[in-house]
Amino acid sequence: MNSHRTGFVPATLAKRQRYMLTPEGIALPLTIASRGARVGALVLDFVIIAAGMLAVTLVLFWTLGDLIEQLMAGIEDEIGGAAELIGVILILFSFLARYGYFLGFELGPRGATPGKRIVGIRVAARDGGQLRAEAVIARNLLRDIELFLPLVFLQVAPTGAMGSAGIAGMIWFLIFMGFPFFNRDAMRAGDIIAGTWVVETPRANLAQTLSTQSAADGTSQVTGARYSFGEAELSVYGEEELQTLERVLRGGEENALAAVHAAICRKIGWEPGSGDERAFLTAFYAQLRAKLEGDMRFGKRKRDKYS
């Protein structure tokens, strides 16, 4: 992954620019998320989680106040069966809020939690492939070792119950918090283990490009050629490939456009020409998106080329 400079890109931004090589051999330009953006996203996610847990707790107190009071008093008295059930529900909800939130959103098609989406970043696989469930699980389980356990040590330390645990927790915390500053891609320990990194989400608007009549009917404004793709040709790709094609069109890199154009032509059996790659890819994108959206209305969903 080599960094690159283009035009009048600021030096700080140029240092975060990379190329990601997809399994098809296509080099996609991307920008590594800044450390500040990642911290901001994490804080926002924790605020959302805390607000959700508070809301659920208030609802439970409002609807099941007597049982919760019994549960809280059960430290000294015998806890009833209903109060035990409430306790189990609270524990399960706390677990799901802590792990399910990150896993559910990062395994989604956008690869980003609400906090990440707000600041404009997402999780991506470093090998350019699809973000796998085991990678998302690994990077989020590592968060316990990186953040939660040392914070527990720091909270317990003032009581003196664990001796020098506070110093150990502080050293532990600083080591893992320093990981993003020890590598040029700002990866934390979880990213290194899981083979992921966090990148900026392109903010350019593609809708304007695809809203013209020429894009809708596949006609090139440069050569006048009309690109129309059949059911079999559009069926070779799914949502994952559509997102990859969208990133390429947004980036506008000529080398990336040419590489993707050649890869699609090989896949669908077309003879690749040259000089009209953007029109070809825009038409393919518009028609593929229309097909996938149409299929979803009938309950059919194609997540990627393997499904």
Give the H or E element holding residue 145. none
Cα of 185 vs its chain's centroid, Å: 16
| Residue 173 vs residues 51, 167, 179: alpha-carbon distances, Å | 25, 10, 10
Mean pLDDT of the chain: 76
CB burial readout 245-258, b (16+ within 10 A) else e: bbbbbbbebeebbb
pLDDT tens for 239-265 read 778 878 887 887 778 888 888 888 899
Sign of the Cα torsion 165, 168, 174, 177 reads negative
The residue among 117, 113, 133 whose CA lies nearest residue 125 is: 133
The pLDDT of residue 55 is 86
219 forms beta bridges with: 226
Q: How many CB atoms lie within 10 A of CB 198?
A: 25
**pLDDT, mean of residues 110-118:** 90
Q: Is the pLDDT of residue 134 over 70?
A: yes
Give residue 294's identity as a one-letter amino acid code. Answer: G
Domain boundaries, the chain: 35-200, 207-297
pLDDT tens for 3-27 read 443 344 455 666 777 877 666 566 6
Residue corresponding to tokens 């806890």? 79
Cβ–Cβ under 8 Å, residues 176 and 147: yes
Q: What is the pTM of this model?
A: 0.61
The residue with greater pLDDT, 36 or 7, is 36
What is the crossing angle of helices 254-268 and 277-297, to 10°?
60
Cβ–Cβ under 8 Å, residues 285 and 245: yes
Beta strands in 167-233 (DSSP E): 196-200
Q: Is the pLDDT of residue 99 over 70?
A: yes
φ, ψ for residue 125 (rounded to 5)? -75, 135
Q: Is the pLDDT of residue 105 over 60?
A: yes
